[in-house]
């Protein structure tokens, strides 16, 4: 598979799965939605966001380079600013800029 | 149409900025702006597009991509179930309404406060369309901007991490029962240590699903409140 074909395939898969999820209630769950789907739909988002945070930080090496210090600073700053102001864009902006500065100096 | 536009203004700010962030990341990964536009049109799911950019860069398998999409976007099922009845007013545009039902769009269509004489059908359609146009605009502009200034925005990909940290904090504060969130983090860390950073995703997703079923009675006993789901509207 060429790089172009691979990209196309990935975009197609993500589009199709996302579309299938959005259409499924209108097509198959019109009468009754299985209990386990309802349950997963309800609790999965909380677990998956936790997983995605870990996923984002998975390549940190605590023994080499900056030892994950820029990430630790930026994650903490993002979380604290968000707890304080509850402004999504502000938190992301400050966290990201802080990170971009930190990786230059650390 | 006017009401739909006014209602969608807060989403415009969020979508344009997040879209620009996505466009920059995709451009940094070496993809032309056309891909950014294509993804904004065909995928149209904020956090999943960020993850897709990352999966592409890592060369993830199509199976991993499919599973990841399923897990990240499964919550959209709720939006559909909620709108089953309301969207019956729609005609030819109904497939588009369903396709475009993102977190933000759902937050605007689930309980709209419409003035007298404004048709729900028109409102649903225009809100859905406006929101996606903002998103397409943001993704495209971000990508073009990044290629135009020809500057390596080193570290800008942290915006994806920051986005998820923000959602994590929002969700944490909206819930009394933190078991699902803790499960997600712990299961992922365990699988990361066991399988290594390039292979941990699929085991983590399986472990999380299994654990959530095992913990079902503790999770349901404390928080059985579906309305909280609606508060996640701002998450993407």
CB–CB contact A7 B56 (8 Å) = yes
CA distances from B139 to A3, B106, B156, B219, B229 (A): 21, 20, 15, 37, 27
**Residue B4 in contact with residue B133, Cβ under 8 Å?**
no
- The single residue listed with the structure tokens 């975009």 is A11
Residue among B29, B96, B138, B162 with most chain A CBs within 10 A, to mutate: B162
Judged against a pLDDT cut of 50, whether residue B227 lies above it is answered with no
Token digits of residue B136: 């397409």
User: Which of B14, B166, B223 has the most A C-beta neighbours within 10 Å, making it the best mutation to test the interface with A?
Assistant: B166
For B27: left if phi > 0, alpha if psi spans -120 to 50, otherwise beta; the answer is alpha
Residues 137-156 of B with CB under 8 A from A: 153-156
Does residue B91 sit in helix, strand or coil? coil
- CB-based contact A96 B169, cutoff 8 Å: no
Q: Do residue B84 and residue A26 have CB atoms under 8 angstroms apart?
A: yes
Q: B153 and A100 in contact by Cβ < 8 A?
A: yes
Rounded to 10 degrees, the C-alpha dihedral B19/B20/B24/B29 comes to 10
Q: What phi and psi, each to the nearest 5 degrees, are found at residue B100?
A: -95, 15
B contacts of A70 (beta carbons < 8 Å): 155
Name the pTM for this structure.
0.78
How large is the ipTM? Answer: 0.87
Residue-wise pLDDT tens digits, B191-210: 999 998 878 888 898 899 89
Q: What is the pLDDT of residues A43-96, one digit of tens each?
A: 888 888 898 899 889 888 888 877 889 999 999 999 999 999 988 888 988 999
User: Which A-chain residues 10-39 have CB contacts (< 8 A) with chain B?
Assistant: 10-15, 17-19, 21-26, 29-30, 33, 36-37, 39
């Amino acid at each position: 598979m060429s790089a172009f074909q691979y990209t196309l395939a990935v975009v197609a898969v993500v589009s199709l799965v996302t579309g299938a999820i959005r259409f499924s209630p209108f097509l198959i769950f019109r009468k009754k939605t299985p209990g386990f789907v309802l349950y997963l739909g309800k609790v999965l988002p909380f677990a998956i966001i936790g997983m995605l945070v870990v996923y984002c930080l998975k390549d940190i090496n605590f023994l080499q380079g900056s030892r994950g210090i820029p990430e630790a600073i930026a994650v903490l700053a993002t979380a604290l600013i968000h707890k304080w102001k509850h402004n999504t864009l502000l938190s992301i902006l400050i966290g990201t800029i802080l990170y971009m500065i930190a990786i230059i100096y650390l | 149409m006017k009401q739909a536009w006014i209602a969608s203004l807060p989403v415009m700010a969020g979508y344009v900025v997040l879209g620009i962030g996505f466009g920059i990341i995709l451009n940094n990964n070496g993809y032309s702006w056309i891909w950014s536009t294509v993804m904004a049109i065909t995928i149209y799911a904020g956090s999943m597009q960020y993850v897709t950019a990352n999966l592409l860069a890592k060369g993830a398998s199509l199976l991993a991509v499919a599973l990841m999409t399923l897990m990240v976007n499964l919550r959209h099922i709720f939006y559909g179930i909620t709108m089953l009845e309301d969207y019956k007013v729609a005609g030819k545009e109904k497939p588009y309404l369903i396709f475009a039902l993102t977190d933000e769009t759902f937050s605007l269509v689930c309980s709209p406060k419409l003035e007298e004489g404004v048709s729900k059908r028109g409102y649903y359609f225009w809100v859905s369309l406006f929101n996606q146009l903002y998103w397409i605009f943001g993704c495209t502009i971000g990508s073009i901007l990044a290629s135009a200034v020809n500057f390596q925005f080193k570290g800008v990909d942290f915006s994806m991490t920051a986005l998820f940290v923000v959602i994590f904090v929002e969700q944490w504060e909206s819930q009394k029962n933190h078991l699902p969130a803790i499960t997600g983090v712990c299961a992922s860390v365990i699988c990361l240590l066991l399988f290594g950073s390039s292979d941990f995703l699929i085991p983590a997703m399986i472990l999380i699903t299994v654990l959530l079923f095992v913990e079902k009675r503790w999770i349901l006993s404390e928080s059985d409140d579906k309305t909280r789901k609606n508060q996640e509207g701002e998450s993407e």
